Chains A and B, each alone.
Chain A
Amino acid sequence: MTHQDSGSGSTPGTQQEARRKVALVANCLLNQNAKVCQGAHYAGAVTPVVELLRERGYRLQQLPCPELAFAGVRRWWAVYEQYDTPAYRTHCRRLAQAIAPLIEQYLRAGDEVILIGLDGSPSTGVRFTSSNPDWGGRPNRPQDDWQIVPGRGIWIEELEAELARRGLPPVPATGWGLDMGRFDKAGARRDLENFLNERPGPAGTDGEGSSRS
């Protein structure tokens, strides 16, 4: 792996730079320690995601983990309905307001920004989240009795709402299917590759001039 990035490493959004490619990534894609107990598939970063994005010249911008900062490292597993509370949404808005200025700088500078969430997650799901309206009370549910349903997780909903409040365009998004019950690594990789293949051509070729190597 070599350094693929071609940004300047300085504050984003300066006019002199060529259009950059920026991938907003779920916290646990760079840090599996954020996962709920028994949810970590890697020691640290989710290697295939990092490799795919770097190979294609994306800068990485890690998002905060809303669940860790709210319910802690020793939290129970939970589904969308359990996190769908005013207090958790307020917490997610605080996180969104903290990271939004950084994202806004990239978008206002005309950079290509994408979002890679974690499909199946009640918070960070993009295409799919987890659901079971019956969950609650004593944590003794039988294994795998939640549903994977189409839809955003709470954190992604609140992050997108915050960006919209700032008048920013929607960010193209997909999810890495780590929380889909059985993790299908090959399928997750194929989905991410397809998503990236649908992006416009390489940054820096839009006639703005480039100092990129």
Chain B
Amino acid sequence: MSSDARGWRIALIPDALINPPARADAVLPDVLLVLEASGYGVLQLPPPGEYGPLLAVIADQVAEYAHHGYAVVAVGVRGSSADGLHWRRLAPLLRKRGMALPPRHLIRTDLGAAAEQQRLARFLSDYDLPAEEQRHWRV
């Protein structure tokens, strides 16, 4: 094996966007499809509930990526409980691990799936680390 296809970009994604409710097609974009087309890997957040130890494990992984040249973003759902990202719990865990908070994109449920799909794709394609950092890490 001599080549490596990794995309160096990762998105934190709520459970509700990976496993959307039935009949959500008209409202929510197919996020996994957009992420794949944009070359992003997925880190899945748990569904709503108390999952403190799991959030800490996820924060460990996010920090490891962020400290080694990977671009990390978060995609939530506007208006759902805490965006589906457990942000109030997760953000302090990330800060404690010495990382700047990843940029957040919130999907709106009032604009239609097609428009939101385009908006998400634009956000994902526009974001990456500065070229200098990419050159440093991505050899």
Q: Which of A30, A44, A98 contacts B57 (CB 8 A)?
A: A98
Contact in complex: B42, A31 (CB < 8 Å)? yes
B35 within 8 A of A: yes
Contact in complex: A38, B2 (CB < 8 Å)? yes
Contact in complex: A40, B21 (CB < 8 Å)? no
Report Cα–Cα, A1/B37, bound state, in Å. Answer: 12
Report Cα–Cα, A71/B30, bound state, in Å. Answer: 33
Which residues in B have their C-beta under 8 angstroms from that of A30?
41-44
Which residues in A have their C-beta under 8 angstroms from that of B36?
43-45, 47, 50
Contact in complex: B44, A43 (CB < 8 Å)? no
Contact in complex: A60, B44 (CB < 8 Å)? yes
Contact in complex: B19, A62 (CB < 8 Å)? no
Among B19, B43, B51, the most chain A Cβ lie within 10 Å of the Cβ of: B19
Contact in complex: B22, A6 (CB < 8 Å)? yes
- Residues facing A in B32-49 (CB within 8 A) are 32-33, 35-36, 38-44, 46-49
Contact in complex: B7, A3 (CB < 8 Å)? no
A5 within 8 A of B: yes
Contact in complex: B35, A73 (CB < 8 Å)? no
Name the residue on A nearest B24 (C-beta). A3
Contact in complex: A35, B47 (CB < 8 Å)? no
Which residues in A have their C-beta under 8 angstroms from that of B6?
32-33, 35, 40, 43
A8-B21, A33-B70 known; A69+B35 contact, CB < 8 A: no
Which residues in A have their C-beta under 8 angstroms from that of B23?
213
Report Cα–Cα, A8/B16, bound state, in Å. Answer: 9
Which residues in A have their C-beta under 8 angstroms from that of B43?
30-31, 62
Closest approach, in angstroms, between the C-beta of B20 and any C-beta of chain A? 5
Name the residue on B nearest A31 (C-beta). B41
Among A40, A43, A94, A102, the most chain B Cβ lie within 10 Å of the Cβ of: A43
Which residues in A have their C-beta under 8 angstroms from that of B131?
none
Which residues in B have their C-beta under 8 angstroms from that of A64?
54, 57-58, 61
Which residues in B have their C-beta under 8 angstroms from that of A45?
32, 35-36, 41-42
B60 within 8 A of A: yes
Closest approach, in angstroms, between the C-beta of B62 and any C-beta of chain A? 10
A30-B42, A33-B8 known; A3+B64 contact, CB < 8 A: no
Name the residue on A nearest B53 (C-beta). A98
B111 within 8 A of A: no
Which residues in B have their C-beta under 8 angstroms from that of A9?
15-16, 19-21, 24, 47
Closest approach, in angstroms, between the C-beta of A91 and any C-beta of chain B? 10
A64-106 interface code vs B (CB 8 A; 1 in, 0 out) = 1100110011100000000000000000001101110110000
Contact in complex: A213, B61 (CB < 8 Å)? no
Contact in complex: B40, A44 (CB < 8 Å)? yes
B4 within 8 A of A: yes
Excluding A9-B47, A10-B47, A94-B57, 4 further A-B contacts by CB distance (< 8 Å) are A3-B30, A9-B15, A34-B41, A44-B42
A-B pairs with lowest CB-CB distance, top 7: A31-B41, A43-B7, A43-B39, A40-B6, A98-B53, A9-B21, A62-B44
Interface residues of B (CB under 8 A from A): 1-10, 15-16, 18-25, 28, 30, 32-33, 35-36, 38-44, 46-49, 51, 53-54, 56-58, 60-61, 64-65, 68, 70
